[in-house]
Every structure is written in C-alpha cells, then in structure tokens.
A = this chain, B = another copy of it.
C-alpha cells in the first residue's frame, strides 16, 4: 500500500508539472523533457505512468474536464429555477477555470484536441447534453421562450461560452474572463428569456456579474 501511495504521488507530480507548463507556455511547447525536469522525475517514472504525451494530455482532459462539468452540475443542485442554475453554473465554470490550474489546462487541451481525442469529444458532448437538458427544463418552467428549440439554445449558450473563453485566453491571457461572460450573457438574455421573465433575469445577471467581475485579475 505504501508503494501504491508513492506511485500515485509520482503520477500526480507529473500531472502537476505538465499542467503548469501547459498553462505557462502552451501544450505544443511543453516537451516531455521539460515536464520531467520540472517534476524532478526520471524518464522511466514518466513512461511508467504515461505511454506518451497524448496519454498524459488525456488524463488532464479527463480529470480537469470532470471538474469543469462538476462545477456546472453543482450549481444545478440548488432547487432553484433551471435558468438561474444555467447562469449561475456558467459563472461557476468561469471561476473554476480561473482558480483551478488543472481545469484551466484541461480547457486548453480540449480546444487543442477537439475531435481528435475521445476524452475531449466525450467532455464536450457531455457538457452540451447537460446544458441542453437544463434549457429544456427552463422552457418547461416558462423562463426560456417556448418557441425556441432547447438544443439550439443549449448549443448557442455553450458555444458562446467556449468562444468567449477562447477569445479571453488569446487576447487578455484569461484575465477578463468574468467580464466577457457577463457581456455575452447581456447580449443573449433578451434573445432566449421569455418576455415576462426578462426583468427578473436582468437583475439576477447583474448580481452574478458583480461577483464575477470582482474575481477578474487586474
């Protein structure tokens, strides 16, 4: 058991080192040699746990992707209306990507691999299904306009989030992710919310925004 614990600690050290490098210089530039150096490990230790750089990347996508989806799901276990949970969940995701290095590296790897890696494909598919399910519930509750298709709305919300995150990571090093999520929601809100609920959700968004903007880095 001691041996197993030590082996797990080694594995985690390699993942941590890879995560740091991916966030600092990007996946293509992060070589296996740099990852080993930083983790103060031998090549043998790395290959014992990961057959290749992509196997290591897949572990990060799986673990980090689950944290991102987990943050969105957690926001849904409140008994609040589904649309509140969607909006709150999206800001929880922004927080997770900003504060959790593993989640941040995973979101970079997800964009890098997309359809070429089964774990990346599964993560996007699962998140999209989760989002669409919530939107369906929000339509049933009368908060999202009944003439809209749940999948179209789910895809638009999820796609705008992904694009907003990509733009923020590319143009401001992710520092203003909270601000850009707010901006996107402000534009989307009147398109998807039922007329009777728009006033309430503008207020709800404003409250979420203040909290999220405060978390943007200077």
Known contacts A128-B171, A166-B111, A187-B148; A25/B116 CB under 8 A: yes
Interface residues of A in 138-176 (CB under 8 A from B): 148, 152-153, 155-156, 158-164, 166-167, 169-171, 173-174
Picked from B25, B110, B167, the residue with its CB within 8 Å of the CB of A162 is: B167
| B-side contacts of A50, CB under 8 Å | none
Main secondary structure of the interface of A (DSSP, over half): helix
**A160 to B: closest C-beta gap in Å:** 5
Binds B, one of A26-34, A75-83, A96-104, A204-212: A26-34
The answer, yes or no, to whether A183 is at the interface (CB within 8 Å) is yes
**A152 to B: closest C-beta gap in Å:** 5
**Contact A163–B158 (Cβ < 8 Å):** yes
Q: Oligomeric state, in number of copies?
A: 2
**Contact A114–B113 (Cβ < 8 Å):** no
| B-side contacts of A117, CB under 8 Å | 26
The answer, yes or no, to whether A120 is at the interface (CB within 8 Å) is yes
**Contact B28–A187 (Cβ < 8 Å):** no
The answer, yes or no, to whether A180 is at the interface (CB within 8 Å) is yes
**A161 to B: closest C-beta gap in Å:** 7
**Contact B28–A170 (Cβ < 8 Å):** no
Chain A window 22-47, contacts with chain B (Cβ cutoff 8 Å), 1 for yes, 0 for no: 00011111000000000000000000
The answer for the CA separation of A187 and B144 in the assembled complex, in Å, is 12
Picked from B57, B161, B169, B187, the residue with its CB within 8 Å of the CB of A163 is: B161
The answer, yes or no, to whether A121 is at the interface (CB within 8 Å) is yes
Binds B, one of A10-18, A62-70, A85-93, A188-196: A188-196
**A74 to B: closest C-beta gap in Å:** 22
**Contact B167–A27 (Cβ < 8 Å):** no
Additional A-B contacts beyond A29-B54, A114-B169, A156-B188 (15; CB < 8 A): A25-B116, A26-B112, A26-B117, A29-B116, A108-B114, A112-B112, A114-B170, A115-B171, A115-B173, A152-B186, A155-B167, A159-B164, A159-B167, A159-B180, A191-B191
